[in-house]
Structure 1
């Protein structure tokens, strides 16, 4: 049976070279480029023979971890169907264990795996030249490839179970945004390191962490042996990871074989946009509608554009009076976190009369409060994840990064929590839909101004401990950076949860007055 599945897999690979001329040309061009990239990678790895053991360790562990992460992420990002989906073989009546073994073996017969195998052989050659046993080097490469193959199988199965009917360009955009959030900070960190012909200590510490994770443990075994250290921990992780992934894969195969696949709708769901991505719950529907507003309504777009401009303007006076750029670079990021948390303080008013849908449908307050915060979280978290390492890179002291994380988390979370209360307790009139965002209607009371001030000043007041410890870390004791981080995270998360709970109660009790406000503006 395994041989038959392997023949099917081989036929699928050969079948990619069939089709019209344009398709074949694209496939051949891609293969040529991939072969060139593989050759360049092998040449670069073999060129490490003259470098120190530490350099080889850093390159191989980082590269192997990145490849394993790519095998796990690719099924989630690529909108393709798995030709080896276990449900395709359900009609054959095979035992789940035998089918899982055959499909895992067939999954190893793929172009990406062959590329990793070629580079892995070069890695094994490099370590063998440094006194590592050829058997040990080969086993470590085999374990690394096994982790890659099983990660791809597991993630493909999870995608088939949960994402098949909700795949859309919006979801792919979220995955792409996640990649940016990961890649940009890492790239900034690597670019800021001081190499001087040696491996920076920060990078060695990062590799030490990866060496005891499933992503990099297998690739770290030869390096540990070459250094004469005890390889027990990475060896246990490297052996245990494929075992755990194999058990998860068998469980997923059993679930897929006993789960009926949802029939596809005759009409494409792409037109549903964010509603096809969000969960089918009241909170998910509100989140999807809010996302549409934030992306299409120019009133929201103007608010988003103003945030970075306002934060950047805070730098000008400080630079004019002679404050060093290294210090000024730290100022805009907390302002961005503060303003992003403050943005939804009047979000309910932007709905105009559409808010009646929530109230008439009896939507729970927590669904309304959480759903309205989703767009700000999707914008704010990636933005802060990118600008924080950039600011720290300009400053030059990466030891301040925990303090920056704490301050930004505290200001952002506290702002969102207080905004959840203010938007239900004290909404004030804004320009109607379709009107200029710079046109503000006349207000007959001061509730709007008070709500704005309370949210912003309240966020600063609640985050005062984190700000104080961050100031101490900047001017006196760098050890206070960790205190600032935990204080900020605790304040931000705690205020966010409390704000959603209180805002939910306020929304439910003031439903009638909210309707009156919507009808009168």
Structure 2
């Protein structure tokens, strides 16, 4: 079976060369350009044999990590049709295990993998000139190729199941935002470095960090020595094993549960409903996205948050707070307010909430679906704001602490908002009204709901705030504690808040509908 799959793979690769002359010329020109670029890259890597090991490590690890990440992201962004889609073999009754192994082996025969093979071989030869072990170089080549191959297969399978039949301008916009989230922080980071004869310490630190991730472990393996050899080898091998298990699971799912045909015509005009999964939570997320991106009431709230956060720097500077400290303040404030925004989301639905209640929708689907818009909006803004604030502060070592504090405030706010929006909604301006027009309220429920969510998020984030302050004021060892403590606290509060909010939403359905009719 493997031999047949290999022949199919070769036939699918050579097939475009038998097409129209214009397409063939374009394909050959592209291959020539790619071969030339690969040759230049190989020469550049080999020239690092005369460079200091620190420079060689930075170039190979950061460049290799970017290449590995590209194999995971490219199938989702490009959406190219996989000629060896596992669903095409469903009619043959092949076992998932042998089929997944055969398709993985066939995935080794591709132009991108050939490029990776050339680059890794050159990197292994280069590291031998620095005294590296040939065995580690060979292991690095094998692990890099396997990792990229399996990432490509997994990415293509996920794209086939989720993305490809739902291509739309909304989904393209999400991908562009994701690219922006990566490019802007990286650009700010590189622009803030002090370039000179030696490799900047920050860049070396980034390379060391990526070397301990699944993206860069295999690329950094030839440069390792001592105890790091076992660590990097373990991470790289574990990455291959996990990706192989995911690939086998995806093949089994694609053979046994075909959600939709391999090729399907997309219906136009569905917008976000064509992008979101066909589940109750996906329907709520799509409807909420339409509201958040078109309703003036939501748009004003989104625009006010970053503006208000940045304006807080002015009184701090007037009061004599140093700029490096004041530059860090707007990011936690933005995170807190973004987490606080959905605390009254049910009220903004007005009477449209009856669709959720009349359909018997589970509370968890409603709670999770409503959080999707604010997460898609806030996460890119916060990621960019964290990198810019760290650059203005002057020490990138505080970035983990700032990210942890922001994550704790944001996720804790979302968790508490999931409870408050179902337990204590209060009257707001109706759809179509001015966002600055607020109805009269006869009780203090609205003020209490707002205050409890905001104060609760701050109290629950107190440990990460304290660790972050210690990291900023001198002891950078607390930056890691702030990061993982903030992520852990935020994730826990979010999970508990969604669970409690789901129960409250289901039990107070009649009161929520009564409130929507009366407000």
TM range (shorter): 0.7 to 0.9
Residue 517 of structure 2 corresponds to 519
Query: 1:332–1:129: structure 2 CA closer, same or farther, 3 Å change rule?
Result: same
Residue 302 (str. 1) matches residue 282 (str. 2): no
Residue 85 of structure 2 corresponds to 85
Query: How far off its partner does 1:148 sit?
Result: 1.5
For 1:230 and 1:445, locate their aligned partners in 2 and report how far apart those are by CA, in whole Å: 63
For 1:50 and 1:266, locate their aligned partners in 2 and report how far apart those are by CA, in whole Å: 54
For 1:92 and 1:497, locate their aligned partners in 2 and report how far apart those are by CA, in whole Å: 43
Residue 68 (str. 1) matches residue 74 (str. 2): no
Query: How far off its partner does 1:289 sit?
Result: 1.0
Specify every segment of 5 or more residues in structure 2 that has no aligned partner in the other structure, as ranges.
Answer: none
Query: How far off its partner does 1:203 sit?
Result: 4.2
For 2:419 and 2:427, locate their aligned partners in 1 and report how far apart those are by CA, in whole Å: 17
Query: 1:93–1:418: structure 2 CA closer, same or farther, 3 Å change rule?
Result: closer
CA contact (8 A) 1:415 1:456 kept: yes
1:27-426 alignment runs, 5 A limit: 27-28=27-28, 30-90=30-90, 99-100=99-100, 102-132=102-132, 137-138=137-138, 140-161=140-161, 163=163, 165-166=165-166, 168-211=168-211, 213-224=213-224, 231-235=229-233, 238=236, 242=240, 245-246=243-244, 249=247, 252-253=250-251, 256-257=254-255, 262-263=260-261, 268-426=266-424
Query: 1:86–1:280: structure 2 CA closer, same or farther, 3 Å change rule?
Result: closer
1:433-452 alignment runs, 5 A limit: 433-452=431-450
Query: How far off its partner does 1:315 sit?
Result: 1.6
Query: 1:33–1:496: structure 2 CA closer, same or farther, 3 Å change rule?
Result: same
Query: How far off its partner does 1:329 sit?
Result: 0.7
CA contact (8 A) 1:96 1:253 kept: yes
Query: How far off its partner does 1:304 sit?
Result: 0.8
What is the Cα-based RMSD across aligned positions, in Å?
3.5
CA contact (8 A) 1:333 1:384 kept: yes
Specify every segment of 5 or more residues in structure 1 that has no aligned partner in the other structure, as ranges.
Answer: none
For residues 279-320 of structure 1, give each alpha carbon's deviation from its aligned partner in whole angstroms, at most 9, with x where no partner exists: 443333222211111112122112111111111111223334
Query: 1:19–1:396: structure 2 CA closer, same or farther, 3 Å change rule?
Result: same
CA contact (8 A) 2:120 2:140 kept: no
Greater displacement, 360-369 / 161-170: 161-170
Query: 1:266–1:64: structure 2 CA closer, same or farther, 3 Å change rule?
Result: closer
For residues 211-247 of structure 1, give each alpha carbon's deviation from its aligned partner in whole angstroms, at most 9, with x where no partner exists: 45543343333323xx688744444555665566556
Query: How far off its partner does 1:61 sit?
Result: 2.5
Query: 1:491–1:14: structure 2 CA closer, same or farther, 3 Å change rule?
Result: closer
Q: TM-score, normalised by structure 1?
A: 0.85
For 1:151 and 1:172, locate their aligned partners in 2 and report how far apart those are by CA, in whole Å: 21
For 2:180 and 2:2, locate their aligned partners in 1 and report how far apart those are by CA, in whole Å: 39
For 2:7 and 2:147, locate their aligned partners in 1 and report how far apart those are by CA, in whole Å: 23
CA contact (8 A) 2:313 2:329 kept: yes
Query: How far off its partner does 1:83 sit?
Result: 0.7
Query: How far off its partner does 1:81 sit?
Result: 1.7
CA contact (8 A) 1:77 1:176 kept: no
Q: Report the number of matched residues.
A: 519
CA contact (8 A) 1:294 1:300 kept: yes
Query: SS state of the match for residue 441, structure 1?
Result: coil
Query: 1:520–1:95: structure 2 CA closer, same or farther, 3 Å change rule?
Result: closer
Greater displacement, 315-324 / 385-394: 315-324
Query: How far off its partner does 1:394 sit?
Result: 1.0
CA contact (8 A) 2:87 2:262 kept: no
For 1:472 and 1:133, locate their aligned partners in 2 and report how far apart those are by CA, in whole Å: 42
For 2:100 and 2:472, locate their aligned partners in 1 and report how far apart those are by CA, in whole Å: 55
Q: TM-score, normalised by structure 2?
A: 0.85
For residues 161-186 of structure 1, give each alpha carbon's deviation from its aligned partner in whole angstroms, at most 9, with x where no partner exists: 55555555544544444444344434
Query: How far off its partner does 1:136 sit?
Result: 5.9
For 1:169 and 1:280, locate their aligned partners in 2 and report how far apart those are by CA, in whole Å: 18
